[in-house]
A and B are shown apart, each in its own frame.
Chain A
Amino acid sequence: MQTAHSANEANYLTYKGKYKGLLGWIFSTDHKRIGLLYLYSILTMFSVGVLLGLAMKFELLAPGKTIMEAQTYNSAFTVHGVIMIFMVVIPGLPAVFGNIMLPIMIGAKDVAFPKLNLLSWWLYVLGVILVLAALMFGSGAPDTGWTFYAPYSFKSGTNLLPAVFGAFVLGFSSILTGLNFLVTIHRLRCPGMKWTKMPLFVWTLYGTAWIQLLATPVVGITLVLVALERMFGIGVFDPALGGDPVLYQHLFWIYSHPAVYVMILPAMGAISEIIPTFSQKQIFGYKAIIASTMAIAFVGYLVWGHHMFTAGMSGTAQYYFSLLTFIVAIPSAIKVFNWISTMYKGSINVQTPLYWAASFVFVFLIGGLSGLVLGALATDIYVHDTAFVVAHFHYIVFGGTGFAFFAAAHYWFPKIYGRMYDKGWANTGWLVFFIGFLALYTPMFYLGMMGMPRRYYDYLDEFHSGNILSTFGSWIMVTGLVIIVVNLVRSARKGEPAEMNPWHSKTLEWTVSSPPPVENFDELPVIAEDDGPYNYK
């Protein structure tokens, strides 16, 4: 096992390379610096997305126009979706914590292709700039919804072209990250790190990387076709020229459904690291979690049709897609049982990351079960395109990925910055956020079942009370968010110096100093036969 570096040696934060200052960061090929670049850029875009979400919720405070017109509202939910999906939750955990932790967790000095890794971040920035250009210049912000459905995406008069190209570039960035991680995991595991000794976060990144690699190109070509349709009128999705808009939906969801597993798998991986650490207990069913991860990655490809039950599809196809949707719920449920069984009779150390992880399991359960309501043919017809879908989606993607992101942030924070955050404020932030989250999204389940459609800036009077609660919830949640971020930013600069292994975890990243040295390990660690990522007494 690796010994700690001496304190005076430069770590990756203070290391001075060929370039100084900002250039030393944006041209750095160090996986940890690239991870932080992603963190800062993703958090910036996240705050833009949050502000748009707040504005939408404010608009829905009362029926009729509150602060914006219908067209502005359409642009707000489109841009909110594009930012949150393509720039925040898809790259979120893999590009930030995957980049920083993956090489250390498998005992490597860096990823397989460090320059390609830097290129991924540059492409991410380029994609962001393109999408933002769509907002600021031209004939108004896109208003099609983040799905760019045909034929509206080439009939709409708004400035869609840069947004579509931006999404394409962001997809390319995601492909390169996935490719890099796959090769890294195959080639750079340290001696003795067998596949069955890899931490589960690495396993979920592995499954995620395959999805990124094999699903993203399909949406890439689809978005290119939409752009060409807009520019030249090639006809493939235009019903006026013989094209089929439903074919667009198929191609779009062939990527975009697996993409939700890009969002949730690494989240599950982070939770699978946190729960054994704070239970000080071997993870229950290590191999079952691996198998369910790969099963989700595989079956996740075959369920895209459940987004289109009302779009026109044969009855047989509907049955299969519905059945497969139910099947994909099984491996997710297996994981929930694994996490809970891990905590059973563990010596539980209640810390901020565990609060986040436990609340993750709670919201993920509700999100997952409400997903079955949507996957069942009869009930889907009833709640399709209502606020119910929005509630389900945010419970899974924000409740799932978002909670896991904050869990991971509070778990690895002392390793990344070498400082400990104020635990009191961190817990307060979590509690406020959690209450706000429940108040914001739970009423939407009810509103959806009562029949309130999604994506309208206006609603009938009977939906008023639920919307008031939801809007209040958004204010509470953002208050929690501010507490969390301010606490972390302040602690990164002024917090107490952190120990090498404050949580007494067993994975490799806790065997190097905090923050980690430039090349992670002086000499590569060797994993012995009886070592393991979760070998607690």
Chain B
Amino acid sequence: MENNANGEHVHYDAEASKIGMWLFIFTELLLFGGLFLIYSVYRFKNPEAFHLAAEELNTSIGALNTVLLLISSMTIAMSTTTLLLKKKGATLGLLAITIIIGIVFLVNKYFEWGVKFDHGIWPGSEHLLNDFSQGEILFFGLYFVMTGLHALHIIIGLAIIVAAIIRIRKGTVHENRAALLENAGLYWHLVDLIWIFLFPLFYLIT
């Protein structure tokens, strides 16, 4: 418990913030858990169609994106360490790299989806409904929903990192009050972790 300039109580409890973020991560895991459950049910019911549909995806871009996210997880973890070592410049630099990698991931995703759209494949498209089997329709439905929801989480993660950068520059996040950056890191790792499951499920298991 400390006081700010107006003499009001400012409550800061890093432990509470971290518990809060972990609990929130549980909810995110359950959110995606529902989708993983649906994926496994339909994969079990349509093994051949899922195999055929997975052949359509570009494994190279998927692998590249996996490597990118792993590197970004490393850079954000390093930024937390440098903040605790009071190297503010290095922290900001590492966070900037994390953001750039996140944006490159989204750009790759944009082109990947774009190619699918060019081939006439999107949820409810005539080509998909007329020329593909039910299992393939489900595969692509889940592909767009799960990678789309994951991309949304990348965007949210980027927003949290931007907030952390602003606070670090203002000096309200520093080595003794690092909870916001640590939580941004936790969240970014979660986003990375979910992708590590999405990648094999859609691209590798064929």
Contacts and interface: CB of A to CB of B under 8 A. Distances in A.
Contact of B34 (A182, A188, A218): A218
Contacts of A214: 26-27, 30
A220 B24 CA distance: 14
A22 interface: no
B138 A243 contact: yes
Interface in B22-43: 23-24, 26-28, 30-35, 37-38, 41-42
A216 B46 CA distance: 29
Could you say which of A241, A247, A251 has the most chain B C-beta atoms within 10 Å of its C-beta?
A241
A512 interface: no
Interface string A218-259: 101110110010001111100001111001000100000000
Contact of B138 (A215, A218, A241, A251): A241
Nearest to B35: A221
A158 to B, nearest CB: 20
Contact of A175 (B27, B46, B123, B133): B27
A217 B149 CA distance: 14
Interface string A151-187: 0000000000000000000000001000110110011
A228 B122 CA distance: 12
A236 B38 contact: yes
A186 to B, nearest CB: 6
Contact of A236 (B19, B27, B142): B142
Contact of A233 (B9, B16, B123): B123
A213 interface: yes
Nearest to A219: B34
A113 B11 CA distance: 9
A519 interface: yes
Nearest to A212: B27
A112 interface: yes
B201 to A, nearest CB: 15
Contacts of B11: 109-110
A27 to B, nearest CB: 15
Contacts of B16: 112-113, 183, 186-188
Nearest to B41: A247
Contacts of B23: 179, 182-183, 213
A342 B133 CA distance: 64
A185 B147 CA distance: 36
Contacts of A235: 123, 134, 137-138, 141
Interface in B150-168: none
Contacts of B134: 235, 241-242
A244 B28 CA distance: 24
B171 interface: no
Given A241-B138, A242-B46, A217 B28 contact: yes
Interface of A: 109-110, 112-113, 116, 175, 179-180, 182-183, 186-188, 213-218, 220-222, 224-225, 228, 232-236, 241-244, 247, 251, 519
Interface of B: 9, 11, 13, 15-16, 19-20, 23-24, 26-28, 30-35, 37-38, 41-42, 46, 122-124, 129, 133-135, 137-138, 141-142, 144-145, 149
29 contacts: A109-B9, A110-B11, A112-B13, A116-B20, A175-B27, A179-B20, A187-B13, A187-B15, A187-B16, A188-B16, A213-B26, A214-B27, A218-B31, A222-B34, A225-B145, A228-B145, A233-B124, A234-B142, A235-B123, A235-B141, A236-B38, A236-B138, A236-B141, A236-B145, A241-B129, A242-B42, A242-B135, A243-B42, A247-B41
